[in-house]
Amino acid sequence: MTQDIRQRLDNHPAPNRKFETALNQGKVTATDLTVEKVGVSTRQIDYRFNEAKSHEAASDVAENLVRRVDYLLEPLAIIEQDPSESKIQIRSQKPSTDGATRRYYEVNVDGQGVSIERYHTAGKSRENDDINLTRESFERLCRDLDEAAAPHPRK
């Protein structure tokens, strides 16, 4: 799987193009992906499950992601769950700060998949920010999304 992702990154066309790759449990799409020698930049990473999941299974995916994805700029934590709509929201535990500007990841998990975005806020306004990762971290994130989506026996 890693070889396939790496090869797709190597062959990715011009900057700011959509990136898609099918994995075992679903499909990863990165919006406006720019690939450079050592890193990638994107506005959103979206992972769609091959098969819809119940709220319980989506919660398992969210918990698994919080445990697995410990290499982003800030640690992640589940902050909200809505069982009626089968939605789970994950955010950076402690946003990065630069003066009055705060930056954080927001991960939304539902029965259809996972979306990852980064935001920056200054005052009350919130704007989309680039997700900047090394190529290796992007590949790892794709693998972790897919592995988190795999069915796991309940304890």
Q: What one-character-per-residue DSSP string does 91-149 give? A: EESS-EEETTEEEEEEEEEESSEEEEEEEEEETTEEEEE-EEEEHHHHHHHHHHHHHHH
Looking at this protein, which amino acid is placed at residue 108? N
| pTM listed for this prediction | 0.91
Is 82 or 114 the better-scoring residue by pLDDT? 114
Structure confidence at residue 43 as a pLDDT band (50, 70, 90): very high
The backbone torsions φ and ψ at residue 142, rounded to the nearest 5 degrees and listed phi first, read -60, -45
Structure confidence at residue 37 as a pLDDT band (50, 70, 90): confident
Structure confidence at residue 2 as a pLDDT band (50, 70, 90): low
Cβ within 8 Å of residue 93, ≥6 positions away = 74, 75, 76, 77
The backbone torsions φ and ψ at residue 90, rounded to the nearest 5 degrees and listed phi first, read -120, 140
Range ranked top by mean pLDDT from 31-35, 82-86, 108-112: 108-112
Is 74 or 153 the better-scoring residue by pLDDT? 74
Is 113 or 5 the better-scoring residue by pLDDT? 113
- The mean of the pLDDT values for the chain is 91
Secondary structure element (H or E) that encloses residue 29, with its range: strand 26-35
Structure confidence at residue 86 as a pLDDT band (50, 70, 90): confident
**Distance between CA atoms of residues 4 and 153, nearest Å:** 28
Q: What one-character-per-residue DSSP string does 69-98 give? A: ---SSS-EEEEEEETTTTEEEEEESS-EEE
